[in-house]
A and B are shown apart, each in its own frame.
Chain A
Amino acid sequence: MDAYREEKLSPDMKALVEDHIRSCSECAGILRMGILADKVIEREKQLEPDPYLSTRVIGLIESSENKAETGFITILRPVLMTLSLAAAVFFGIVLGNLTRTSGNFQPIPVELALINDSAMESIEVLSIE
């Protein structure tokens, strides 16, 4: 039946099939369904792809390549931020230490360092008097 539909049969064979189809409703039904399937496929083949397909494909390729480049920067940004913050804190501490040792530091006088706290009069003694 497929060979008949695809016109691959010799004229004699074709005539035999046609004779048979006239008398056999089952084979006629099979042939009808085969023709229907061919028609559906032929109709689908008439459809055309999106006319802007090539532009869309090139656009998507460009955007995916740009995204890959910006993706690297996106990963690098928090690393750079953390590093710069750590560097700022480090230099702040270093600068702070430099100013402390540069001359403003005054050592405690010996008299004050040697005060005996236990020998000092308590405030209670003063209030009683």
Chain B
Amino acid sequence: MDDKDIIALILKGDREKYRLLVEKYQQMVFRTCLGFVHNKEDADDLTQDVFIRAYQSLSGFKGNSAFSTWLYRIAVNASLNRIRKKSPLNILFRKPGRTSANIKEEEFFYQLKDEDNPEEILIREEHIKWVHRALESLPEKQRTAIVLSKYDELPQKEIAEIMKISEGAVEALLQRAKRNLRLKLGASQKKI
């Protein structure tokens, strides 16, 4: 049973079939969201929102593109909306544990690294923050292109379809994003 058959059944009222689509695409949507928010908790929340939004607008899916492309668009839009909402006021009042450089990230970091040297751990933690800050400083289109390319490992053709732009434009966005990342990371390195 392909995606279109499953969607037809869901639209006829078989709500439980939506579980099949969630299970098939959850990793893909989660990665995209994580590429924007860099935090497991936020990425889980966003992934959930994306699948609920997709269910609510499922009747609007015409099948002109692949279901995954349609879902990627929802994931990108939801992620961009989430990061736009992070105004300075929201940052000031948000709960601890939900920032991009937070406990979750440290836990994640500790799980992956075996070094016992606290200084080494602190330096590497700082490096992770540099990378996140550099990614967060990119303009929205460059950021979207780099997330879809690096996190989802999508070919430029698919990125172009998701972003509704030409492949040449994707190539240009990726080049500019990489150059900006180089500059930002270079500047961070020079500070030490």
Contacts and interface: CB of A to CB of B under 8 A. Distances in A.
A57 B151 contact: no
A33 B189 CA distance: 8
28 contacts: A29-B186, A30-B182, A33-B130, A33-B182, A33-B188, A34-B185, A36-B131, A36-B185, A37-B131, A40-B132, A41-B151, A43-B108, A44-B34, A44-B151, A45-B151, A47-B40, A49-B26, A49-B29, A49-B30, A50-B44, A50-B47, A54-B22, A56-B48, A57-B52, A57-B55, A58-B16, A60-B52, A61-B55
Contacts of A1: 182
A124 interface: no
B22 A57 contact: yes
Interface of A: 1-2, 29-30, 32-34, 36-37, 40-41, 43-50, 53-58, 60-62, 64-65
Contacts of A53: 22, 26, 44, 47-48, 51
A61 B15 contact: yes
Nearest to B127: A36
Contacts of A57: 18-19, 22, 48, 51-52, 55
A36 B192 CA distance: 16
Nearest to A47: B40
Given A44-B151, A53-B48, A33 B26 contact: no
Interface residues of B, number: 39
Contacts of B188: 33
Contacts of B80: none
Interface in B89-136: 108, 112, 127-128, 130-132, 134
A40 B47 CA distance: 21
B184 to A, nearest CB: 9
B48 A60 contact: yes
Interface in B124-175: 127-128, 130-132, 134, 150-151
Most buried by B among A32, A43, A46: A43
Nearest to A37: B131
Contacts of B128: 40
Nearest to A44: B34
A43 to B, nearest CB: 6
B18 A58 contact: yes
Contacts of B189: 29, 32-33
Contacts of B186: 29-30, 33
Interface string B3-40: 00000000000011011001100110111001100101
A54 B22 CA distance: 6
A58 B26 CA distance: 13
B178 interface: yes
B78 interface: no
A61 B18 contact: yes
Nearest to A29: B189
B73 to A, nearest CB: 18
A112 B179 CA distance: 112
B43 interface: yes
B181 interface: yes
